[in-house]
């Protein structure tokens, strides 16, 4: 069955809120075992856990994805508990404002370091360990959450745009490398999504202008992103590997 995730083990980074929470709820509703990671807010993560079907084997782990040792420990614990990993959703990320005409050189370097370490290097380490496990299994799905900023640019958040462009390139490289092992890699590139991370921008005076960037006159919902994640994670769409799908309400169209 297309959306049959019964007894599948799904790891979602940044799974405590926003897109991650919507993905966790959706996979739980589809009978998967959901593994959520969070960086610091355990109470929020536990709230997400309470939304999931108690009949499945869900779990919660604290993880700073900029720390390779923490990622390695997490995978050791997951394989010990679950035996295999079927789906990895790389959702955790940061969006740090650093306008070149406003920040100091030290602030500029700090923003770049934190952004690349989280959005690209951390994700690459998760992909490596998941990919190695999935090679052994001869099966697996990796879905990376990118951004329209990788294509249109992010003048106030240049490191974010660069990190997501790098994520796209890495994902397509891994799609080629992992295809012989029946492991697929998909990328979703949303525009603004109604999440806590975007709230500070959507609630400003410019929030209405952001919504008007789309002819639908709104931003995406986390559930819309989650549905597309489910498509990439499904059996029977292996030929979509390496694909980057825009989800921005026609707010930015690329050729």
Model pLDDT for residues 20-41, shown as the tens digit of each residue: 999 999 999 999 999 999 999 9
From the list 61, 82, 128, 160, the catalytic residue is 160
Q: What is the mean pLDDT of residues 222-242?
A: 96
Residue 194 within a domain: yes
* 126-145 pLDDT, tens digit each: 999 999 999 999 999 999 99
Task: Count the alpha carbons within 13 Å of 138 in the hemisphere toward its beta carbon.
Answer: 0
Q: What percent of the chain has pLDDT over 90?
A: 91
Residue 1 within a domain: no
> Please, which pLDDT band fits residue 80 given cuts at 50, 70 and 90?
very high
CATH of the domain at 238: 3.40.50.720
pLDDT of residue 182: 98
* 98-123 pLDDT, tens digit each: 999 999 999 999 999 999 999 999 99
* Per-residue pLDDT at 239 exceeds 90: yes
Quote the mean pLDDT of the chain.
95
Strand partners, 189: 246
Q: Range of 205's domain?
A: 9-247
Residue 255 within a domain: no
Residue 253 within a domain: no
pLDDT of residue 170: 98
Annotated catalytic residue 160: yes
* Per-residue pLDDT at 1 exceeds 60: no
Q: What is the mean pLDDT of residues 45-66?
A: 96
> Please, which pLDDT band fits residue 125 given cuts at 50, 70 and 90?
very high
pLDDT of residue 198: 75
Residue 91 within a domain: yes
pLDDT of residue 196: 77
Full-model pTM: 0.96
* Per-residue pLDDT at 229 exceeds 60: yes
* Per-residue pLDDT at 200 exceeds 90: no
* Per-residue pLDDT at 201 exceeds 90: no
Full DSSP string of the chain: -TT--TT-EEEETTTTSHHHHHHHHHHHHTT-EEEEEESS-HHHHHHHHHTS-TTS--EEEE--TT-HHHHHHHHHHHHHHHS---EEEE---------TTTS-HHHHHHHHHHHHIIIIIIHHHHHHHHHHHHHHHT-EEEEEE--THHHH--TT-HHHHHHHHHHHHHHHHHHHHHGGGTEEEEEEEES-BSSHHHHHHHTSTTHHHHHHTSTTSS-B-HHHHHHHHHHHHSTT-GGGTT-EEEESTTSS---
Work out how many domains the chain is built from and give that number. Answer: 1
Residue 196 within a domain: yes
Residue 199 within a domain: yes
């Amino acid at each position: 069955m297309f959306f049959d995730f019964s007894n599948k083990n799904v790891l979602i980074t940044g799974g405590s809120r926003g897109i991650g929470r919507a993905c966790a709820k959706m996979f739980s509703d589809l009978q998967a075992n959901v593994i959520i990671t969070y960086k610091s807010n355990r109470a929020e993560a536990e709230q997400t856990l309470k939304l999931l079907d108690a009949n499945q084997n869900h779990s919660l782990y604290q993880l700073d994805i900029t720390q390779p040792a923490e990622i390695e420990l997490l995978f050791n614990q997951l394989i010990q508990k679950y035996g295999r990993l079927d789906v990895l959703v790389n959702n955790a990320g940061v969006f740090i404002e650093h306008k070149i005409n406003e920040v100091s050189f030290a602030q500029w370097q700090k923003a770049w370091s934190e952004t690349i370490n989280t959005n690209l290097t951390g994700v690459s380490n998760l992909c490596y360990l998941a990919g190695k496990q999935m090679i052994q299994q001869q099966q697996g799905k990796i879905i990376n959450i990118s951004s329209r900023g990788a294509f249109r640019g992010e003048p106030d958040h240049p490191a974010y745009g660069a990190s997501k462009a790098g994520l796209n390139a890495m994902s397509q490289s891994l799609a080629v490398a992992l295809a012989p092992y029946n492991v697929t890699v998909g990328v979703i590139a949303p525009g603004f999504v109604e999440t806590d991370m975007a709230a500070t921008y959507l609630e400003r005076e410019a929030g209405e202008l952001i919504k008007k960037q789309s002819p639908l006159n709104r931003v995406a919902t986390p559930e819309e992103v989650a549905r597309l994640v489910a498509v990439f994670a499904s059996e029977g769409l292996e030929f979509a590997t390496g694909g980057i799908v825009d989800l921005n309400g026609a707010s930015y169209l690329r050729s």
